[in-house]
Amino acid sequence: MTAQRPAVGDRRVLVPDAPAAGGAAAARTEDGVVFVDGALPGETVEVELTQVKKRFARARVTSVVTPSEHRVPDRLAACGAAGVGGVEFASVDLAYSRRLKAEAARQQLERIGGIEWDLRVSSLPREADGGSGMDWRTRVQLAVGPDGQPGLRAGGSHRVVPVSRIPLAVDELNDLGLHRQTLPGLSRLELVASAGGGAIIAVGQPKEAVLGKLREIAAAQPGAWSVLLRTEGKRNRGRPAPPQVLAGTGRVREEVRGQRFGLDADGFWQVHVDAADVLSAKVLEFAGRPQSALDLYCGAGLFSVFLAKAGAKVTGLEGSQAAIQSARANAEGLPAKFEVGRIETLGMLPPADTVVLDPPRAGAGEDVVNMIGASAAGRVVYVSCDAGTFARDARGLLDCGFELAHLQGWDAFPLTKHTEFTAVFTR
């Protein structure tokens, strides 16, 4: 052991040797593991410790002494966005970033779930066809600084960094030009691009002149665009009040393999431009041809609709009343019914041959996993956006008598630390 314990602010030269969860790289030292943000395995880097715990520490790269062959020029710099958070692999070759994600996920599967799996992470069509990984997000949030300038948060900070281009966003959102406006009174902008239009959701207490500018920008775009205002602090029965529609319908339209879906502008939808298509097709493949299916966390009914079109009698459950209303409209005429409810509090699940679930990043959790285990379902199709919580829930399903039949990773969040997973369990 070293004579003196490491402390925040200490500087060291390290050589990480493995990827880790969260987009970091792990370096083994006499004092324990150091997780280094901004480093790649095999590089020699100078770092500054940012957090010190008993068994591990975290650090950030201050300079790269010997770069990896997989390091590329910082993509954020080209957007005038150097230093912003949420693009952990901005300086990493895109194909290599998928290898790092796969290895980090394999470690979590084994450590948390006791599962050994030769996991692969595949690109979605936009990137498979030569995309850069910088133009896939159809939903973006911009912070707005005290001066009214929109931008993105600096990594690990609340500071708003103005940008010349919104990194990762599809062209339709950059074409709005809102990141170049001055919008006093706002704290945040939520931008949505959809099939044939989109939405601008303003958050804060702006004056009419700012709202008028947003209406003008929306009206100038091709297609149908809405403008909505969410007033900070305004709540309805303990929940944030729904935004006020200032222009347009307040709804967006999505299209997946010829099927149209409508939902509220602030409702959940897959953020990658290709994710809804790929994931719904994979869910349909994994589900087989069940006579009945239960769709947990069904949202606006993406999976339910395609399962019902394939002949299954579908029951969809979701905690959001607005999402359930959209799901009912989207599945009109199909053998599907939808109910609002907190899934973890049900106690018992409705009967079904197959259970499909796409929970939030926190995963399904023990109560839901145990309900699935206690049901008569012989097949579970699990869609997840977090390796750690998926590994935990997968372990629970295995303990309930299921076997993991297939697991696939998808790079549905290119150049970020996140990965999507589709899995099927059978018994």
Q: pLDDT digit string (tens) for 269-315?
A: 999 999 999 999 999 999 999 999 999 999 999 999 999 999 999 99
Query: Where does the pLDDT of residue 239 fall: very low under 50, low under 70, confident under 90, or very high at 90 and above?
Result: low
Inside any domain, residue 21: yes
Residue 332 shares a structural domain with residue 421: yes
Q: Which DSSP letter does residue 350 get?
A: P
Residue 244, pLDDT above cutoff 80? yes
Residue 235, pLDDT above cutoff 80? no
Residue 219 shares a structural domain with residue 177: yes
Residue 297 shares a structural domain with residue 408: yes
Q: pLDDT digit string (tens) for 86-114?
A: 999 999 999 999 999 999 999 999 999 99
Residue 252 shares a structural domain with residue 279: no
3-state secondary structure at position 70:
coil
Mean pLDDT of 125-140: 97
Residue 238, pLDDT above cutoff 60? no
Q: What share of residues in the chain are helix, strand, coil (percent, to 5)?
A: 25, 35, 40
Residue 208, pLDDT above cutoff 60? yes
3-state secondary structure at position 113:
helix
What pairing do the DSSP bridges indicate for beta strands 44-52 and 11-14? Answer: antiparallel
Inside any domain, residue 83: no
Residue 118, pLDDT above cutoff 50? yes
Inside any domain, residue 216: yes
Question: Which residue has 């395995």 as its token pair?
Answer: 41
Query: Where does the pLDDT of residue 54 fall: very low under 50, low under 70, confident under 90, or very high at 90 and above?
Result: confident
Query: Where does the pLDDT of residue 1 fall: very low under 50, low under 70, confident under 90, or very high at 90 and above?
Result: very low
Mean pLDDT of 148-156: 95
Domain final residue, candidates 229, 256, 283: 256
Alpha carbon of 263 to those of 252, 266, 331: distances in Å?
6, 8, 12
Phi, psi of 242 (to 5 degrees): -65, 150
CATH of the domain at 372: 3.40.50.150
Domain final residue, candidates 71, 88, 108: 71
The per-residue pLDDT of the chain, averaged, comes to: 95
Inside any domain, residue 80: no
Q: Name the token pair of 134.
A: 């910088």
Mean pLDDT of 23-45: 95
CATH of the domain at 22: 2.40.50.140
Q: Specify the number of domains making up the chain.
A: 3
Residue 288 shares a structural domain with residue 252: no
Inside any domain, residue 88: no
Could you count the other beta carbons within 10 Å of the beta carbon of residue 254?
20
Distance CA 393, CA 371 (A): 12
Residue 419 shares a structural domain with residue 290: yes
Q: In this structure, are residues 119 and 407 in contact, taking their beta carbons and an 8 Å threshold?
A: yes
% the chain with pLDDT above 70: 97
3-state secondary structure at position 209:
helix
Inside any domain, residue 204: yes
Residue 391, pLDDT above cutoff 50? yes
What would the 3-class secondary structure string for 30-47 be? CCEEEEEECCCCCCEEEE
- Catalytic residue (one of 79, 298, 385, 400): 385
Q: In this structure, are residues 356 and 296 in contact, taking their beta carbons and an 8 Å threshold?
A: yes
Residue 296 shares a structural domain with residue 160: no
Residue 285 shares a structural domain with residue 384: yes
Distance CA 289, CA 253 (A): 28
Question: Which residues, 6 or more positions from 104, have their beta carbon under 8 angstroms from its beta carbon?
Answer: 19, 20, 21, 22, 387
Alpha carbon of 191 to those of 138, 165, 218: distances in Å?
8, 14, 11
Mean pLDDT of 317-333: 97
Inside any domain, residue 86: no
Q: In this structure, are residues 198 and 223 in contact, taking their beta carbons and an 8 Å threshold?
A: yes
Residue 407 shares a structural domain with residue 297: yes
Residue 216 shares a structural domain with residue 289: no
Query: Where does the pLDDT of residue 232 fall: very low under 50, low under 70, confident under 90, or very high at 90 and above?
Result: confident
385 a catalytic residue:
yes
Inside any domain, residue 167: yes
Burial class (CB in 10 A: 0-12, 13-18, 19+), 129: exposed
Phi-psi region of 359 (alpha: psi -120 to 50; beta: other; left: phi over 0): beta
Q: pLDDT digit string (tens) for 179-201?
A: 999 999 999 999 999 998 999 99
Parent domain of 186: 139-256
Residue 243 shares a structural domain with residue 365: no
Domain final residue, candidates 55, 71, 87: 71
CATH of the domain at 180: 2.40.50.1070
Residue 293 shares a structural domain with residue 386: yes
Residue 255, pLDDT above cutoff 70? yes
Cα-Cα end-to-end distance for the chain:
49
